[in-house]
Amino acid sequence: MGILNVTPDSFFDGGKYLRPEAVLRRVEEMVQEGVDIIDIGGESTRPDSQLVPLQQELRRVIPMVRRIRKLFEVPLCVDTYKAQVAREALEAGAKMINDISGLRFDREMARVVASFNVPVIIMHIRGTPRIMQRNPRYKNLIKEIISYLRKGIDIALTAGVSSKNIIIDPGIGFGKTVRHNLQIIKNLAELKTLNQPILLGVSRKSFIGKVLDLPPQERLEGGLAAVSLAVFAGARIIRTHDVRSTRRVVDMVQAVLDS
């Protein structure tokens, strides 16, 4: 899953893809690099990020979905927790929704996803993006993540979402310390008890920078190490800024697993 942020303030690629021409060039690059899904987002959810008004998010995302769909066959996922953005994106041709709130921030989201019969990513988050990194604490990290995701699955199923359309994400960096993120990767296989495909997004994130003392531009190798461990533990979708490198790592790990 390739990341495409049409935002001015995302932590790694903010401002790079604000013009339609730049967006389409990046989509073409990702397709050539072997992307399977492109995840397009119109609101940064980095720590301390500001809320984006609904109409502004719609203006950023919907025209881009329409343009991409006209030119490329790659499936588009829209990264949003707003039901109206999801609805209009799906009407414009998106095929999947990525909800960082695990269907909590907008209670209409589950019904929208169900009505279009598309996959949805249910992610774990502690708090909101603006406050999530203010001293996050857990009594039992993995159990609490599993409990949160299980409730999200129940919300989806109750709204009529098919079980085959539910993907889970433990939410690396969303209300977690460096140690929490490392523990999630180490114990990722425990999420298999939920019997849903696991997505993981570690690309360029701050925990890698803190472990290796590196800025976002130099975190590729650290992220790929985490990806290798995640795929070995059972992750089935990897969300990344670096499609070519990640594709090669995933394919190599999968070849070992299939041998």
Distance, CA of 231 to chain centre:
16
Beta bridge partners of 40: 4, 78
Is 205 labeled as catalytic in the residue annotation? yes
The answer for residues whose C-beta is within 8 angstroms of residue 247's C-beta and 6 or more apart is: 33, 34, 35
Cβ contact 92:69 at 8 Å: yes
Is 239 labeled as catalytic in the residue annotation? yes
Using DSSP's 3-state secondary structure scheme, residue 83 falls into: helix
Using DSSP's 3-state secondary structure scheme, residue 50 falls into: coil
The answer for residues whose C-beta is within 8 angstroms of residue 49's C-beta and 6 or more apart is: 9, 43, 129, 130
For residue 203, count CB atoms less than 10 angstroms from its CB and return exposed for 0-12, middle for 13-18, buried for 19 or more. buried
Q: For residue 160, give both structure tokens.
A: 């009529």
SS3 content of the chain, % helix, strand, coil (to 5): 50, 15, 35
Strands (E), 80-187: 96-99, 120-123, 166-169
Q: Which of 46, 104, 219, 239 is catalytic?
A: 239
Q: Which of 111, 204, 205, 247 is catalytic?
A: 205
Cβ contact 7:14 at 8 Å: yes
The answer for residues whose C-beta is within 8 angstroms of residue 246's C-beta and 6 or more apart is: 203, 223, 224, 227, 238, 240
Indicate which residues carry an active-site annotation.
205, 239
